[in-house]
Amino acid sequence: MSTSQSVSVTLKLDRALAQIAAKRFFSRKFGAVGFLALAVILASFLVGLIFAPGHVATWFIGALLLLAVTLVPLAYRSIKNATLQMVELLGDDPRVELTATAEGLILRMADEPTEVLWEELDTLWLFDDVWLLFVDRGSFLVLPRDQLSAAFCELLLERMRRHHVRVK
């Protein structure tokens, strides 16, 4: 593949895609380990209620459980709202033109280009239906897999590996 080659795709983002991206992000970030931890806390609380209902440790675990079942949905909602807000900011024209070049990625939304160098990218999470491209650890760009050409995917992955961007 030529190092001067660039490939562009036009992505159409919508609310349904944003919700899918939020679910994928949350499932990978919280994942099976998070649900297992929640189950262990719940089981510990139930055992404490049965065998030591008045013990301070039982109520501490209960408070921890209450905190977890409160914060987990709030965290998901926050992620989902941030992703939906990104789509809403695009307004009536929810299209993003994305060009992979030798230097980085050029995002064009509403005719306003933004360039992100390969070195500025943090991680690419690959899912069957959507890819999440992190510019830093907190924000990501949603790449609908069915809207990416094979040439774009190949060039993106090759450049990311060349610049030591993590691909998971």
Strand runs labelled E in the chain: 7-12, 95-100, 104-109, 112-117, 123-126, 130-134, 140-144, 166-167
Q: Which two tokens stand for residue 30?
A: 């919280």
Q: Mutual orientation of helices 15-29 and 31-51 as an angle, nearest 10°?
A: 60
Residue ranges for the chain with pLDDT beneath 50: 1-2
State the pLDDT at residue 104.
93
pLDDT tens digits for range 46-62: 999 999 999 999 999 99
* pTM summary value: 0.81
State the pLDDT at residue 137.
64
- Amino acid identity of residue 33, one-letter, is V
pLDDT tens digits for range 72-81: 899 889 989 9
State the pLDDT at residue 4.
63
Contact (Cβ atoms closer than 8 angstroms) between residue 143 and residue 130: yes
State the pLDDT at residue 157.
95
**Phi, psi dihedrals of residue 101, rounded to the nearest 5°:** -120, 180
State the pLDDT at residue 1.
46
3-state SS string over 23-62? HHHHHHHCHHHHHHHHHHHHHHHHHHHHHCCCCHHHHHHH
